[in-house]
Amino acid sequence: MLPMQSLGVDIETVKGFLDAQEGAALFDAALTSAALGPCLEIGSYCGKSTVYLGRACEQKNTLLFAVDHHRGSEEHQLGEEYHDPQLFDAQQGRMDSFREFRTTLARAQLENTVVPIVAPSALAARYWNTPLGMVFIDGGHSMEAALTDYRCWAPHVVRGGLLAIHDVFPNPADGGRPPFEIWQLAQASGLFEAMPLVKTLGILRRL
């Protein structure tokens, strides 16, 4: 198990929805794949997954690209289930997690390892040409958002690299279906081989 003190910050004080066991699996996955190229995550929110991935990338002397428009997913909006008033910019009348994200990077001393890309996933991917050792998808959970993330970023994973998807629920009674469906789509493509799930974290290796 990953020693929590090695993350450089008390991870439980970072806002987010990533389980510690899933985070440790992300850390290990990034450690093994970072030798193949930089890593990239979609859906940084306040930086909990960024700390796990970024610390692994730091150890391997590579970079983590963190893609998020920081305006929140559907469930983060005003009046929705996961809305956080502390992340709501009353002056703009919009959710904004970027300030909190930057604070997390500073606390974890990862500002020289993590490259924030503050843009929608499809926009950030439009002219992307850098091969990636690992891609972690944890963006919007609508079918449109999940498909966009998968179609935009999975092709950039190099052979032997990893594609990770959060909130994969095989039982529809446990949670939303889009992450599970793109996890299945990746396997059906013949380009990825699935490894055992770590709670709701699906990790697949590019063949």
Catalytic site positions: 141
Mention every residue, 6+ apart, whose C-beta is less than 8 A from residue 156.
Answer: 40, 128, 130, 131, 132, 135
Query: Strands 64-67, 39-42: parallel, antiparallel or unpaired by DSSP?
Result: parallel
Q: How far apart are CA 68 and CA 70, in angstroms?
A: 5
Task: Please count the residues of the chain.
Answer: 207
Say which amino acid occupies 84: D
Structure tokens at 88: 């709501």
Q: How far apart are CA 184 and CA 19, in angstroms?
A: 22
Query: Strands 157-165, 132-137: parallel, antiparallel or unpaired by DSSP?
Result: parallel
